[in-house]
Amino acid sequence: MSKASVDTLSLAGKIRVHALKMTNRAHSSHIGGCLSAADILAVLYGGILNVEPGSPENPLRDRFILSKGHAAAAIYATLAECGFFPVEWLDTFYLDGSRLSGHVTRGIPGVEVSSGSLGHGLPISCGMSLAAKRDNNGCRVFALLSDGECDEGSTWEAALFAGHHRLDNLTAIIDYNKIQSFGMVKEVLDLEPFAEKWRAFGWSAREVDGHSHGQIRQALSEAPFEKDKPSCIIAHTVKGKGVSFMENRLEWHYFYPSDEDLEKALAEMGVTA
Ligand SMILES: Cc1ncc(C[n+]2csc(CCOP(=O)(O)OP(=O)(O)O)c2C)c(N)n1
Ligand SMILES: [Mg+2]
């Protein structure tokens, strides 16, 4: 993939369109969290990650872990658009017999670990980061977490571990869309003061607009923010971003876009079905 030539705004648009079509076709959930993460994924794959579709198992590659594995449609769309597997595979998402199941599955080119049971991605990323540091091989590890999975004790156990082991090759990005399955994060289990919590665990934390490609790119490019500290990027996002009637609406965690919803959404994006 020629990173210099990737137009990340266009890539993010393609991720959104694919995810809408995939969840419509499969009658599957999680479109809201796919849309909130699309810009972060586009910037990561559009020039930050040292990964190549031709050698997805290169031992010296950067590792990307989508800890919020229910956003499978978004990462599959990203990997397909970046050449890891044919875009046609996306048409089979979540269908019987498909390689592409509803949560992220190891074995698909470009996927590092199976995920979807929330709270496991950061612990796994810590192990990968520690191994890379001990091997002194220059590999970096990036994990994308949801705000909801910051309710999981395993996430904070991993945060403690990363700070203790000075894993400055590890960057956690939080898709802070303020909504989880059944309610607003603030009402279900408030995370604030969020950045201060990460700092107290030995991390260097920054906050960005998770839909500003410039801000996301700058933060990712500048990690590690401090020597000997893991980096946390709190990305303020909007669940359902890019489709007016899905933005900040709880129901789009589980609802799938009907044919009519899909048509309306694509029309807003200037795309024909
Ligand atoms: C351990 C675990 N418990 C429950 C679930 C069911 N579940 C799927 S998504 C989700 C929460 C969705 O909210 P959030 O984690 O904030 O994701 P996003 O808003 O980014 O879609 C839950 C509880 C799960 N996948 N794993
Ligand atoms: Mg959320």
Q: pLDDT of 84-93, one tens digit each?
A: 999 999 999 9
Is the whole model's pTM more than 0.95, yes or no? yes
**pLDDT score of 4:** 56
Q: Of 68, 185, 237, which is best to mutate to test ligand 1, by the most ligand atoms within 8 angstroms of its C-beta? A: 68
Cβ–Cβ < 8 Å for 93, 103: no
* Nearest CA-CA partner of 36 in 67, 74, 65, 64: 74
Question: What tens digit of pLDDT does each residue of 139-195 get?
Answer: 999 999 999 999 999 999 999 999 999 999 999 999 999 999 999 999 999 999 999
For the cut 50, the answer to whether the pLDDT of residue 60 exceeds it is: yes
Cβ–Cβ < 8 Å for 210, 237: yes
Relative to the CA of 177, which ligand 1 atom is closest?
19
Question: What tens digit of pLDDT does each residue of 231-263 get?
Answer: 999 999 999 999 999 999 999 999 999 999 999
The proportion of the chain whose per-residue pLDDT surpasses 90, expressed as a percent, equals: 96
Output b/e per residue, 94-122; b: 16+ Cβ within 10 A: beeeeebbbbbbeebebbbbbbbebbbbb
CA distance 190 to 109: 36
Q: Is the dihedral of CA 63, 77, 119, 48 positive or negative?
A: positive
Give 204's strand partners. 231
Starting from the CA of residue 71, give the closest ligand.
1
For the cut 80, the answer to whether the pLDDT of residue 96 exceeds it is: yes
Helix (H) or strand (E) holding 26: helix 8-26
| C-beta of 104 in contact with ligand 1 (< 6 A) | no
Task: Please give the distance, rounded to the nearest whole angstrom, from the Cα atom of residue 119 to the centre of ligand 2.
Answer: 13
Cβ–Cβ < 8 Å for 233, 218: no
CA distance 171 to 88: 32
Question: What tens digit of pLDDT does each residue of 61-72 get?
Answer: 999 999 999 999
Starting from the CA of residue 240, give the closest ligand.
1
For the cut 80, the answer to whether the pLDDT of residue 272 exceeds it is: no
Starting from the CA of residue 253, give the closest ligand.
1
Question: Which residue stretches of 64-184 are H helix?
Answer: 72-81, 121-135, 153-164
Q: Of 34, 39, 122, 149, which is best to mutate to test ligand 1, by the most ligand atoms within 8 angstroms of its C-beta? A: 149
Residue 230: cis peptide before it, omega within 30 degrees of 0? no
Average pLDDT in the chain: 96
Backbone angles phi and psi of 131, in degrees to 5 = -60, -45
For the cut 80, the answer to whether the pLDDT of residue 128 exceeds it is: yes
**pLDDT score of 248:** 98
Relative to the CA of 253, which ligand 1 atom is closest?
21
DSSP string, 234-265: EEE--TTTTSTTTTT-GGGGT----HHHHHHH
| C-beta of 70 in contact with ligand 1 (< 6 A) | yes
CA distance 46 to 233: 18
**pLDDT score of 145:** 98
Cβ–Cβ < 8 Å for 250, 183: yes
What's the pLDDT band for 3 if we cut at 50, 70, 90?
A: low
| C-beta of 177 in contact with ligand 1 (< 6 A) | yes
Backbone angles phi and psi of 181, in degrees to 5 = -60, -50
Question: What tens digit of pLDDT does each residue of 9-37 get?
Answer: 999 999 999 999 999 999 999 999 999 99
| C-beta of 110 in contact with ligand 1 (< 6 A) | no
Task: Please give the distance, rounded to the nearest whole angstrom, from the Cα atom of residue 180 to the centre of ligand 2.
Answer: 4
Q: Of 30, 146, 241, 248, which is best to mutate to test ligand 1, by the most ligand atoms within 8 angstroms of its C-beta? A: 146
Which burial class, exposed, middle or buried, applies to 177 when counting CB atoms under 10 A from its CB (0-12, 13-18, 19+)? Answer: buried
